[in-house]
Amino acid sequence: MSTIRIGTRRSALATTQAGQIADRLRALGHDVELVEIVTEGDTNRAPLAQMGGTGVFATAIREALLAGRIDLTVHSLKDLPTAPAPGLTIAAIPPREDPRDVLVARDGLTLGELPEGAKVGTGSPRREAQLAALGLGLDIRPIRGNVDTRVGYVRDGALDAVVLAKAGLSRLGRTAEITEAIDPVQMLPAPGQGALALEIRSDDAALYDVVAAFDDADTRAAVTAERAVLAALEAGCSAPLGALAEVSEELDGSLEISLRAFVGRTDGTFDLRRSVTGPVDRAAQLGDELAALLLEDGARDAFESPNGDPPDPAPGGVLPATATVTPIHPTSAAEREQ
Ligand SMILES: NCc1[nH]cc(CCC(=O)O)c1CC(=O)O
């Protein structure tokens, strides 16, 4: 097989994730080359929520895939829109890292030890809403930037703490800076957090056969359930929504998913948490059922700001339960943007 070109963003996290997959492919005897792709999310420093919604990071990379400039890309699944990309296939979802959010605080402090009024940085409405719901009187500050920049705000004293995904820190070898792994009872992660998605062109059957071996069925089932909640609520990646599915083995040997979700308001005035359980082969339906429960109990209110502004619409759609190889359907750039 010819050289496998892996497209990656320039950030430390993106190149590390792509590099780890490159290493695994090389260990199987393949030639691999990393190709850097610049995305709008990398060049525009505006808050992501203001930058045209879902898929800021994914769009440019997917265009490079469809154009044949690269053969494979490694997405952070939580940054990937739920709408399927015509002509592309998620060939593998490898075993997930710890999906939890973590606190990096000054002086080794935990959430409970932070003083009232402590400045906590996050650019995520989901994290902001769940921090606010704790009722600790924290002063939540909007921040953006890569992992190094965000941790830097604590190190240089600008902030008392920041909240980050544990998976990002562990992939960068920086777990020593974590001062608390936040219990999902307090903070549910983003759908797909800690998982990677390996995407290829749908007609690249040879590469599919190589990459599909990296797929982990339990992780795929879990993130399918989580992303179904996101899609059914038409929430988009910047909504104050958290979801976590955990797969466990029952006494009879069958595999069960336990799925929890949160929707809230960033000011903490709305906080709704519900859960469902069921067999792994019903992952997507469980997500739909949980979304229906949340809607029944007023989830729509969470996505409307207190001044009554309607939420940003986002396209629906769920990740396929199993990857399929389908021929490319030519699509316009406008359709791919969705
Ligand atoms: N939105 C940025 C982003 N995308 C994926 C990760 C971390 C790794 C992961 O969740 O897979 C991060 C950093 C963070 O949220 O702290």
Indicate the pLDDT class of residue 244, thresholds 50, 70 and 90. very high
264 and 294 Cβ atoms separated by less than 8 Å:
no
Point out the least confidently predicted range of 51-60, 84-93, 225-234. Answer: 51-60
Mutate to test the pocket of ligand 1, among 78, 126, 147, 219 (most ligand atoms within 8 A of CB): 78
Same domain as 224, residue 268: yes
Distance CA 230, CA 243 (A): 8
Evaluate whether residue 189 is within a structural domain.
no
Q: What is the pTM of this model?
A: 0.87
Residue 234 pLDDT exceeds 90: no
93 to 240, 266, 297, 334: CA distances (angstroms): 24, 31, 32, 27
The residue whose CA is least distant from atom 6 of ligand 1 is 168
Mean pLDDT of the 179-183 span: 98
Evaluate whether residue 188 is within a structural domain.
no
CATH of the domain at 240: 3.30.160.40
Evaluate whether residue 259 is within a structural domain.
yes
- Mark which of 158, 181, 204 sits at the end of a domain: 181
Helices (H) then strands (E): counts for the chain: 11, 13
Using one digit for the tens of pLDDT, what is the confidence trace for 287-336?
999 999 999 998 988 776 554 444 443 333 222 222 222 222 333 333 33
**pLDDT confidence of residue 301:** 80
Residue 88 pLDDT exceeds 60: yes
Residue 190 pLDDT exceeds 90: yes
The helix (H) or strand (E) run that includes residue 141 is strand 139-141
Same domain as 49, residue 12: yes
Evaluate whether residue 186 is within a structural domain.
no
CATH of the domain at 29: 3.40.190.10
Max distance between CA atoms of the chain, in angstroms, equals: 59
Same domain as 89, residue 105: no
CB of 165 within 6 A of ligand 1: the answer is yes
Query: How many CA atoms lie within 13 Å of 211's alpha carbon, on the beta-carbon side?
Result: 31
Domain count, the chain: 3
Q: What is the domain range of residue 107?
A: 101-181
Same domain as 280, residue 297: yes
75 and 202 Cβ atoms separated by less than 8 Å:
no
From the list 248, 300, 251, 231, the residue with the least C-alpha distance to 272 is 300
Same domain as 51, residue 14: yes
Residue 236 pLDDT exceeds 70: no
**pLDDT confidence of residue 311:** 44
Using one digit for the tens of pLDDT, what is the confidence trace for 261-286?
999 999 999 999 999 999 999 999 99
| Ligand 1 atom nearest to 77, measured from its CA | 11
Same domain as 167, residue 106: yes
Q: Is 79 a catalytic residue?
A: yes
Kindly indicate whether the ipTM for this predicted assembly is greater than 0.90, answering yes or no: yes
Mean pLDDT of the 185-204 span: 98
- Cα angle 263, 162, 112 (rounded to 5 degrees) comes to 75
Evaluate whether residue 278 is within a structural domain.
yes
